[in-house]
Amino acid sequence: MALQQIRIFAALLALLSPALLWAGPAEDALDEGLKLHEAGKLKEAIQHYDRAIRLNPRLTEAYYNRGNAYYDLGQNDRAVKEYGEVIRHSPNDAEAYYNRGNAHRRLGQHERALKDYTAAIRFSPEEAEFYVNRGSVYFKLGQYDAAVRDYDDAIRLNPKDPEAYYNRANAHLRIGNKERAIEDYNDAIRLNPKLVDAYYNRGIAYAELSRYERAVQDYTVVLSSNPKSAEAYYNRGLAHFRLGQRQQALQDFDEAIRLNPKDPEAYYNRGLVYGEIGQHERAARDYTEAILLNPRNAEAYGRRGLVRLYQGRQEDAEADFKKAYQLDAALKKKLEPLINEAKQKGAAKP
């Protein structure tokens, strides 16, 4: 199953108060907006920010806080425009670039977010979260080495941040640096033992290194915190299967399917277990379900063909093999020794 997602810092939604030593109608309106904003009355706050801007179109704090309010309301296009106004009036404002980058990221505009985070770092190079979020964009764009470099800087600036270690671990895992990923997951968990995603992804790293016992331990921690995680049951089932613990694997696949009955891979792998223990009818049913959910699963056709041989259903088996080879011609070489073995056993019924 997929790697759990990177974590991203929220926007710097600190509310800015007027910096002027004297108060006027625009500043009074801004102050009223701030009070409403802090009380969570965002739409009412925006009305006061509107009034402050009408009275003083150069009151940067009003644009900034109106952008924060729109961001909190999920109106990211409008937030982008407000932070743009802040930048127009104050082109060196690192927080405005950072927040606009977050709004761009929410909109899926990753290249624009990247430019804004880079500008924020240029004007304020000691803010660790700026590097974390730029790293998250590099990660999203598949530029994992660049992401690692940003997480390196974030950790240098704030070595107590578990999220930065967690994100860097994810990038290392995507690059293939599994041992380094585990080291970072260890640090993330040391700093925040409740960071469940770190256990989940560390389990993936352990499994990829064939350290299945450790993977089982990590997925068990995940399930103690989130007993409805179909993915964790599925992954733990795979690890149990690799360890030869078939009954435990079946139990985990059963639970994964109960929680997510539309996952073809769970049916397929449960079918493998049933096939190994000689329950060919159950295996065939699972392969059929996997095929219904994913009709292009060549392996499922091939495996169903094998169990049909054991069931003595030669014609049905040949039809499955034919379909499997149509979908994946390379599968023939893999299946041939298994087919010969089934035939040598006389196509015995379970």
Domain-ending residue, one of 96, 124, 152: 124
Task: State the average pLDDT over residues 273-287.
Answer: 96
Domain count, the chain: 2
312 located within any domain: yes
Domain-ending residue, one of 101, 124, 147: 124
Angle at which helices 230-242 and 246-259 cross, to 10°: 160
The whole-angstrom separation of Cα 125 and Cα 115 is: 14
202 located within any domain: no
Domain with 340 in it: 262-350
pLDDT at 20 over 70: no
Confidence label for 264 from pLDDT (cuts 50, 70 and 90): very high
338 located within any domain: yes
Confidence label for 14 from pLDDT (cuts 50, 70 and 90): low
Domain-ending residue, one of 99, 124, 149: 124
CATH code, 295 = 1.25.40.10
Task: State the average pLDDT over residues 128-142.
Answer: 96
213 located within any domain: no
111 located within any domain: yes
Q: What is the pTM of this model?
A: 0.87
The whole-angstrom separation of Cα 312 and Cα 264 is: 25
| DSSP3 helix / strand / coil % (the chain, rounded to 5) | 75, 0, 25
39 located within any domain: yes
Q: Per-residue pLDDT tens for 32-60?
A: 999 999 999 999 999 999 999 999 999 99
CA distances from residue 235 to 189, 265, 267, 269 in whole angstroms, order as listed: 20, 11, 13, 11
219 located within any domain: no
3 located within any domain: yes
